[in-house]
């Protein structure tokens, strides 16, 4: 829609009753703006001072026009800004999620290392316990041997001891034999001391290993809790990222819908502007023939065929040659040029896009002038048309809506 503002100024001075009407027109699409200044009650021989004053008024009105242009609906788009912010938040959230996953990997590796060390400690404890059992058995055996020997000597039951003493052949032999028996006693006592020392060493190692086991078990429990906390945080972060993705999808859909409505609005304005120009009289909607939608499938068979100037065969088409050839396949003869085809058939004005049906020919004129038709295509539905565009291109499907929006040269359609 065209925004319009009118400002009226009354000048003081020697020209009472003279007013300047300033009319500002602003196109919200920001494509064009115009300032029209019209003077009412014009007088002959207006002094230059008044003309200067009027010029200042025009300048002021131009400033107002600039404000209107900035405030037009096409200026700021909150939806687009919000979408970009959400996308940035989602990107940052994904970076944080990756960092958290890396942190979890580190925690899991620490947990694995502690678990492995704990297993080794427990294996060492099992080995030490076996060694302690052997040491205690050796000590018990040595103590028992020593106790039995002492008891036997006390009771006089150790015949071997008496025999050793009284079987000596001389005093020197007796001294040797007594020394021998003493050494045996010392050896037995040494065995007991060694076995006792071995047991103490094993017990010390066992206590150290048990302390280590407790520490490692506590560390593993802590690492397990940390990993669980990180997993929970990751789940929350994943939910947050998912919610951002859903919000982004919603905003994208809203933005696409907004752009679609804007495109339709611009297309309608362009079509209405084209309809205001001189063109063919419109055929009443009730008098329009049903048309030939079957030509669409025929035309689509030639997608990719190169554009050839003056071409009208599957070896190469220009725009009107494609339409003429396709309609000839259903027995309808069309004129050769796009301008002649525009003048044939029932006419649908450019502002009645709602009346278009698949198979209608859609036409384009230079600067939207119906007297300067230069291009034609076949409407395929859903706002698209198939055509042979230009040299170096091929037969393809394009958006009619986008062409109207971007070029504004659509001048209407014909139905046969």
Last residue of a domain, one of 70, 90, 117: 70
The CATH number of whichever domain residue 136 belongs to comes to 1.10.287.1490
Threshold 0.85, pTM exceeds: no
Based on the domain organization, do 109 and 236 belong to the same domain?
yes
Residue 78: predicted pLDDT: 52
The answer to whether position 269 is within a domain reads: no
Residue 221: predicted pLDDT: 82
Dihedral over alpha carbons 106, 111, 116, 122 (to 10 degrees): 160
The answer to whether position 109 is within a domain reads: yes
Based on the domain organization, do 131 and 152 belong to the same domain?
yes
What tokens were used for 304?
Answer: 């990719």
Question: % helix / strand / coil in the chain, to the nearest 5?
Answer: 60, 15, 25
The CATH number of whichever domain residue 321 belongs to comes to 3.90.1720.10
For residue 140, CA distances in Å to 51, 75, 127, 137, 354 come to 130, 99, 20, 5, 109
What tokens were used for 412?
Answer: 């209407």
The answer to whether position 97 is within a domain reads: yes
DSSP line for 231-291 = HHHHHHHHHHHHHHHHHHHHHHHHHHHHHHHHHHHHHHHHHHHHHHSS-PPPPPGGG----
Dihedral over alpha carbons 25, 27, 32, 38 (to 10 degrees): -10
Based on the domain organization, do 140 and 13 belong to the same domain?
no
The answer to whether position 345 is within a domain reads: yes
The answer to whether position 218 is within a domain reads: yes
**CA atoms in the 13 A half-sphere facing the CB of 312:** 15
Residues 6+ apart with CB under 8 A from 202: 128, 131, 132, 135
Domain count, the chain: 3
What tokens were used for 298?
Answer: 């025929």
The answer to whether position 261 is within a domain reads: no
Based on the domain organization, do 90 and 180 belong to the same domain?
yes
What tokens were used for 255?
Answer: 């933005």
Pairing of strands 384-387, 373-381: antiparallel
Based on the domain organization, do 323 and 389 belong to the same domain?
yes
Based on the domain organization, do 60 and 87 belong to the same domain?
no
Query: Which strand (E) or helix (H) includes residue 378?
Result: strand 373-381
Based on the domain organization, do 100 and 157 belong to the same domain?
yes
What tokens were used for 86?
Answer: 């959400």
Based on the domain organization, do 302 and 382 belong to the same domain?
yes
Based on the domain organization, do 115 and 238 belong to the same domain?
yes
Based on the domain organization, do 210 and 330 belong to the same domain?
no
The total of other beta-carbon atoms located within 10 Å of residue 56's CB is: 10
3 state SS of 24: strand
The answer to whether position 258 is within a domain reads: no
The answer to whether position 263 is within a domain reads: no
Based on the domain organization, do 120 and 243 belong to the same domain?
yes
Based on the domain organization, do 86 and 65 belong to the same domain?
no
Q: What are phi and psi of 380, to 5 degrees?
A: -110, -5
Last residue of a domain, one of 204, 234, 253: 253
What tokens were used for 75?
Answer: 């200026």
For 27, the domain range is 3-70
Please give the average pLDDT of every successive group of 10 residues along the chain, which has 416 residues.
37 37 36 34 39 42 39 47 84 87 82 81 78 72 65 52 53 56 62 70 76 80 82 86 87 86 80 66 94 97 96 96 98 96 96 96 93 96 96 96 91 96
**CA atoms in the 13 A half-sphere facing the CB of 36:** 9
Q: How many Å apart are CA 350 and CA 354, to the nearest integer?
A: 10
Q: How many Å apart are CA 320 and CA 338, to the nearest integer?
A: 5
């Amino acid at each position: 829609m065209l925004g319009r503002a009118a400002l009226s100024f009354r000048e003081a001075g020697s020209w009472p009753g003279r007013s300047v009407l300033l009319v500002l027109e602003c196109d919200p699409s920001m494509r064009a703006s115009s300032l029209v200044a019209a003077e009412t009650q014009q007088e002959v021989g207006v002094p230059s001072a008044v003309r200067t004053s009027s010029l200042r008024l025009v300048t002021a009105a131009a400033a107002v026009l600039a404000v209107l242009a900035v405030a037009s609906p096409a200026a700021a788009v909150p939806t687009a800004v919000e979408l970009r912010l959400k996308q940035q938040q989602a990107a940052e959230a994904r970076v944080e999620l990756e960092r958290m996953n890396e942190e979890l990997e580190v925690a899991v590796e620490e947990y694995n290392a502690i678990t492995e060390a704990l297993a080794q400690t427990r294996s060492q404890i099992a080995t030490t316990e076996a060694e302690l059992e052997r040491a205690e058995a050796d000590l018990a055996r040595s103590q028992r041997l020593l106790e039995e020997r002492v008891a036997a000597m006390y009771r006089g039951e150790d015949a071997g001891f008496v025999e050793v003493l009284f079987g000596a052949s001389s005093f020197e032999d007796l001294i040797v034999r007594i020394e021998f028996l003493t050494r045996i006693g010392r050896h037995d006592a040494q065995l007991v001391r060694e076995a006792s020392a071995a047991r103490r060493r094993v017990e010390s190692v066992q206590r150290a290993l048990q302390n280590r086991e407790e520490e490692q078990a506590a560390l593993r429990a802590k690492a397990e809790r940390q990993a669980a906390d990180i997993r929970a945080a990751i789940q929350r972060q994943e939910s947050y990222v998912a919610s951002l993705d859903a919000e982004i999808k919603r905003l994208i859909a809203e933005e696409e819908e907004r752009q679609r409505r804007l495109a339709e609005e611009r297309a309608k304005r362009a079509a209405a502007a084209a309809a205001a120009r001189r063109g063919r009289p419109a055929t009443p909607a009730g008098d329009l023939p049903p048309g030939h939608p079957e030509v669409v499938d025929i035309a689509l068979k030639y997608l990719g065929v190169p554009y050839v100037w003056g071409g009208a065969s599957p070896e190469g088409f220009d725009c009107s040659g494609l339409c003429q050839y396709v309609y000839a396949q259903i027995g309808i003869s069309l004129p050769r040029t796009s301008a002649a085809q525009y003048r044939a058939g029932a006419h649908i004005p450019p502002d009645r896009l709602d009346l278009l049906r698949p198979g209608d020919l859609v036409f384009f004129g230079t600067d939207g002038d119906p007297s300067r038709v230069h291009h034609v295509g076949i409407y395929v539905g859903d706002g698209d048309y198939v055509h042979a565009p230009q040299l170096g291109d091929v037969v393809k499907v394009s958006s009619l809506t986008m062409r109207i929006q971007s070029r504004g040269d659509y001048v209407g359609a014909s139905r046969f």
